[in-house]
Amino acid sequence: FPEMLSNPKLVLVQGTLNVVMKQNVTLSCLSKPGSLPVRYTLFKHNQQVSALNRSDLTPALFTLTIGSASDAGEYKCKAECNNSSSGKYSNSLKFTFIEPISKPVLSSPTSQAKRGQNVTLSCFSENGSLPITYLFFKGTQNISPRKTMHKREAAVIFLFINSLSDFGTYKCKAYNSFPNNTKYSNAFNFTLAEERSHSQPLIISLGLILLLLIIGLALAVPFFVIPMYKASE
């Protein structure tokens, strides 16, 4: 009797709700009790995907291959007796398509720095499903807490260049929920900007004054020294 048919239960029996390209998943749909046979129909949103008839109380198994992001989304199944024009719907299961990240790029507005200067480093992976988590390193040492970005934007850290040891090699790594897909960035190095001494302008000024004195003395010889020498003869 159609009125005895219960709402079916849709269960994921193989795979995960976070899916990658070309991943297979299997869904089980079962309604009990109810008059037999029962027709089970799987829907993605309102579009029919597949249908199976069951003449016993075994579940209908639907195997899907996630070929692209368009195959993700919300699925439901419908159970109905063959002699009924109505049916009952199950709970929904939502698949989320996850894309692997691309190699992150580590950059800074400046490649030269002085001791005592504040600088920034940014790490950005152009492709990959959000959220993306970033970590920054100097050599093999982690220099920042995890930065999880829920928008398509770079993670940024601020550094204080305090000594020559701060001019080492920096890298960052990025990962998301895609399995086994951690990727490291290019290496980035700050170079030491030329530091002028405060005494350098003074030395240059003194040198110019001395040069002018020498030129002045050289010009004075024909006018003062030579006449005085002749007058003394």
For the chain, list the domains and their CATH numbers: 9-97 (2.60.40.10), 105-192 (2.60.40.10)
pLDDT tens per residue, range 22-59: 899 999 999 986 678 899 999 998 899 999 999 888 99
Contact of 107 with 119, CB cutoff 8 Å: no
User: Which are the contacts of 142, defined by CB distance < 8 A and separation ≥ 6?
Assistant: 135, 136
Query: Residue 211 is encoded by which pair of tokens?
Result: 């040069």
Using CA atoms, how far apart are residues 128 and 171, in angstroms rounded to an integer?
A: 19
pLDDT digits (tens, 9 = 90+) for 98-141: 999 999 999 999 988 888 899 999 999 999 999 999 999 999 99
What Rg, from alpha-carbon coordinates, does the chain have?
A: 38
